[in-house]
Each structure stands twice: as C-alpha cells, then as structure tokens.
Amino acid sequence: SWRAALLGGAFQFAYTFVFGAYAACLLLCTRSLLAPTVAHVFCNWMGFPDVDRRVARRHPWLLAAAFVAGLGAFATLLVPLTDAALYT
C-alpha cells in the first residue's frame, strides 16, 4: 500500500540520514577516511537490527540491558576513539 511504502521510505531516509551525519562527524573528528569507512563496512556487515519477537517475549530484560549497554559504550567511547591522533 502507499502508506506502507511511504512509512518504509521515511524510516530508511531517517536512519540513512543519521548514519550520514555520524560518518561526517567521524570524518571531521578523525581527519581520516579510515574511521567512516570502517563504520560503513561494519554497518553493512551487521545490517539493520532485527529484533525477534520471540526473544522480546521471553527475555525483554535482556534486550533492554543490551540496548542500554550499547548506548553506554557508544557514549563512553565516541570521544576517545575519534581523537585525530589515533589516525595519523
């Protein structure tokens, strides 16, 4: 349907925009193509997260803990791992 197509397109545009902004930030912070290239390769390799409903029903706390741990690791490691000195 048109509605599903528009919602799917909007969702894909949104996460592509966010990743593009992240890749640009990596490029500007590290002053190297290595970091955004590695991030892009990793993103392509992992794909978009597919949250299985069976796991969510059986272990919702596990998904929540993994989400919080991932956000914490990202927030903690973003600045130290984007130091330009690491890439020169």
| The pair of three-digit structure tokens given for residue 53, joined into one six-digit string | 């409903």
Q: Are residues 49 and 63 in contact, defined by beta-carbon separation less than 8 angstroms?
A: no
| The pair of three-digit structure tokens given for residue 51, joined into one six-digit string | 């949250």
Q: Are residues 70 and 14 in contact, defined by beta-carbon separation less than 8 angstroms?
A: no
Q: Please state the pTM of the whole predicted model.
A: 0.74
Q: Going residue by residue through the chain, which has 88 residues, state the pLDDT in tens, using 9 for 90 and above.
A: 899 899 989 988 998 999 999 999 999 999 989 989 999 999 999 887 766 666 667 777 887 888 899 999 999 999 998 888 887 7
Instruction: Return d(Cα 26, Cα 39) in angstroms, integer.
Output: 9
State CA 14 to chain mean position distance. Answer: 12
Four-CA torsion 39, 40, 42, 47, nearest 10 degrees: 130
